[in-house]
Structure 1
Amino acid sequence: MLSMSRIRKVYRTQLVETYALDEITLEVDTGEFVAVMGRSGSGKTTFLNVAGLLDTFDAGTYHLDGEDVSRLSDSAMSRIRNEKIGFIFQSFNLIPDLDVFDNVDVPLRYRRLPAKERKARVERAVEMVGLSSRLRHLPAQLSGGQQQRVAIARVLAGDPKLILADEPTGNLDTLMSREVMDLLERIHEQGTTIVMVTHSPECAARAPRHIHLLDGKVLDTDADAELFAERTMPSLAAAIQ
């Protein structure tokens, strides 16, 4: 699903060059659920932005779902992003004046899908996240966990092949975080590829595979991963055994 080879992303100022991604090489197979971990400044967000075609990179090659996206035009990247990728963010990004149905429907309207198809997609997605009884509720009438589930339903309605999640439980308490992670696990079980950036050892432990970033580099050996866990997230050390 996702194949990167020697990806480099450099931020330049007059005085210094910062390698946000430094020779990143990795693959994520179709249907995998992967947690990307690393302390602040390790390159996690930059990695997710590049993977989601929200940002460009300076060197390397990137294939998404078998298509080389390294040298595509902005319009071509926008098409692939809209058709193949769904984004879940820490902030829910719901429109306060729209109810659940209309919030989920927004991206489908931009894709100019027929009204009947949009309605079916929205209702199916909302049912998947367990909010069918809240279709006409505004975001302010929902809990934080329910708002995140609406955001996830909005992603599911687009039927993406790849879901990129950036700290999806970052604004939630422990109980609501578990509910959202339960939902992501169910989505993964249905065959969707998920790449999740997280600081949370508990959330990361839900993913069968972990990718560790440190200073823009992938730590790709067992010894590196164990050292990463010991130095940056001691409570994760046991969880990834």
Structure 2
Amino acid sequence: MDSLSAVSEELAEIDGQIADIFRALSNGFQKLDKIKDVNRQSRQLEELTGKMRECKRLIKEFDREVKAMERRTNANTHRMLSEKKQSMVKELNSYVALKKRYQSNLESNKRVDLFDGPNEGFSEDNDMLASNMTNQQLMDKGYQMMGETDQAINRAKKVVQETVDVGTETAATLKAQTEQMSRIVNDLDSIHFSIQKASKLVKEIGRQVATDKCIMALLFLIVTGIIAIIIVKIVNPNNKEIRDIPGLAPPAMNRRLLWIPY
């Protein structure tokens, strides 16, 4: 502490705070060994964990101060500060490992308590207590334990029934969704078939329209030819090329029969 005070008052103050936390951690873990109640042990561990977090924060602050003073201190002083920080980190890590061990033991005890249920600590103490009980007290205790067992069984049955109900509802929902999907697939197949049928019908209509257009074009050409012939005949009635066409040839001249008397 004195050597740090000679280097920096801030570092000396941080070092003092960290030392106080280390003493509190040491005393806290010693008290933890004497606590038998699981809940109190858990609270004590939470309190010690908070102190370790605070100690970690102070060590980081100590390291920042050391780095800020690196250019203003000589090599020996800087090495001494680095070793001091490493010593703090090592001591904090030892408490962290100790906390993990206690935490593991605490979790194991909680699991034992969970499975033991109302028979917690029954083995030796309760055997001694049972030896001091009267027959009526033993019977009452047995009836009480049977009642607790029946209640536990009823609760388990209720949970099982609720699980079965949920499973039944889920199965019904899945069945309804499966049927709905089947209907959708059938509808899609019907739509696809209708589209194919409509496509074929459109093609047939297209072919029929094309045939009708050809016939109309042929009739148009015939009518156009007839009209052209009529126009030519009107313009040039003596045209020999169209004289013999029925209905278009010029009228025949009246021929007189010569009567030759004998």
Q: TM-score range with shorter-chain normalisation?
A: under 0.3
Structure holding more helix per residue: 2
Q: Which gives a bigger RCO, structure 1 or 2 (Cα 8 Å, sep 6+)?
A: 1
| TM-score of the superposed pair, with normalisation by structure 1 | 0.20
Structure holding more strand per residue: 1
| TM-score of the superposed pair, with normalisation by structure 2 | 0.19
| Structure index of larger Rg | 2
